[in-house]
Amino acid sequence: MSVDLRTRVDSEQAPVEAGRFFRETLPPLLDAHQAQITPGASELPLEDFCIETDGEPWTLAWHEDRVAVEAGSHGAARVRLTAEQLSDFVNDQSTPVALMSNRLLDMPEGGLPDFLNWWLVLRAALDGRRIHARGDVTFDTDIRRSFTLDDSDEEMRAFLEEAGYLHLEGLFSEEEMAAVEADFPKAAPHFEKGDPRAWFATTQDGEEHLVRMEGFDRYSEVAVELIDQERFQRIARIPGVGHTTTRKPGARVGALIKPIGVVKGISDVPWHKDCSLGRHSYECCNLTVGISVTGADASCGQLRVVPGTHRALVWPAPCVQPGLDLEPVDLPTRTGDVTVHLSCTQHMSQPPVTRTRKVLYTGFGQPSANPEAAEANRQRLNAVRSKTHTSISQQPGYLGDRSGPGDAAGRAISRRSPPPQKASHK
């Protein structure tokens, strides 16, 4: 069960013309992958859905056990895309979540849930992936366990492949973490408002806080020394499929400070896969590694994951898909512990309520077959990612295992989408 799930390379993207795509390309793909579509799609509330591309409408309809693609608009839900957005969507360079995050989701009827349900169907047809159906993902081992440096790579690999995450206890000492923590205030003055590497959030008292410093490795020699050590680099070898340090110097480490009571801006990201904005089929699974500079639990900013979601084509965000038969797991950590999650394992960080949390994030990826084309497309996606802290927010104490009114997921999946903005999403 390899965690290398890549099926595309950036240099092999076919141009997409809406009429030809809906008339000639999509119907045979739907037929060819019907066995991967029907079980999961039958469990989804699939309203007739119109995709209107530069004014040209095509409607997708679910008839008993298959999809019909029809010219014209007669859907209960409708999304308006530009030709460029459709092309990015088909080529897996963008997703409904990316459009929402960039405030470019234009749905005069229906809402994000309609788009996400049909996104599952379209991804199944376009990528040959099976839509998750209840009972598809099972586990042979206890999916709530931790590891230490004494455990073997093979044992950790088996768990990672099955559960999609790892918790490594005591990788670093309290003294090492104290040295990293001392660099936080030294790095902070280098991050000002307006810098895309800096995220800010406002707490209940109206004070604005620097909550994320991307490129912290520029200002912390200690952090760089620690992540270059063998005990940390070993993590890249655990999956056994060629992960390495793909992040560039100066952009290797993000340092997060999670204050209590954020009311504006984002400090703790709601449920998502790291591929929720796109590029799953080009990059998954990357490894994201969190280093607990301070410990974390349910009251102070712990990570939570939904084991097995990397093996399931499900909503990638902004909440756990309604009706999903996989359950979240809490990952409390002590100072010096490390968490590892795959880029398509759904996860969230729980907003702290008792004390501020500090954590470093870094990771490993697999080298692309076409690094230049991959980097160009990755940069376009990063432009979306750098805006998410201003376009998504969540309440203190947010859990969001299932969306509800008043939380980020509830707002994000409201039936009426925010009005589109004129700026291009590129």
Region from 235-243, 260-268, 273-281, 307-315 binding Fe ion, contact rule CB under 5 A = 273-281
**Nearest distance from C-beta of residue 274 to Fe ion, angstroms:** 4
Region from 67-75, 214-222, 274-282, 322-330 binding Fe ion, contact rule CB under 5 A = 274-282
The answer to whether 183 and 222 are in contact (CB under 8 A) is: yes
First to last CA, the chain: 35
**Nearest distance from C-beta of residue 322 to Fe ion, angstroms:** 21
**Nearest distance from C-beta of residue 344 to Fe ion, angstroms:** 10
Mapping DSSP onto H, E and C, the string for 95-120 reads CHHHHHHCCCCCCCECCHHHHHHHHH
Task: Pick between residue 75 and residue 308 the one whose CB is nearest to Fe ion.
Answer: 308
3-state DSSP assignment of residue 230: helix
**Nearest distance from C-beta of residue 361 to Fe ion, angstroms:** 8
Residue with the closest Cβ to Fe ion?
274
Task: Pick between residue 48 and residue 274 the one whose CB is nearest to Fe ion.
Answer: 274
3-state DSSP assignment of residue 352: coil
User: Judged by CB under 5 A, does residue 162 bind Fe ion?
Assistant: no
Task: Pick between residue 60 and residue 312 the one whose CB is nearest to Fe ion.
Answer: 312
Show the tokens assigned to 160: 């990672």
Buried b (16+ CB within 10 A) or exposed e, 334-352: ebbbbbbbbbbbbbbbbbb
**Nearest distance from C-beta of residue 306 to Fe ion, angstroms:** 12
What ranges in 346-393 are assigned the alpha helix state H? 371-385, 388-391
Task: Report how far residue 12's alpha carbon sits from residue 249's, in angstroms, rounded to the nearest whole number.
Answer: 28
The count of chain residues that interact with Fe ion, using the rule CB under 5 A, is 1
Task: Report how far residue 259's alpha carbon sits from residue 300's, in angstroms, rounded to the nearest whole number.
Answer: 9
Task: Pick between residue 162 and residue 274 the one whose CB is nearest to Fe ion.
Answer: 274
Task: Pick between residue 114 and residue 214 the one whose CB is nearest to Fe ion.
Answer: 214
Which one of residues 268, 274, 283, 407 is an interface residue with Fe ion (CB under 5 A)?
274
Task: Pick between residue 156 and residue 303 the one whose CB is nearest to Fe ion.
Answer: 303
Q: Alpha-carbon torsion 315, 316, 319, 320, what sign?
A: positive
- Contacts with Fe ion by CB under 5 A lie at 274
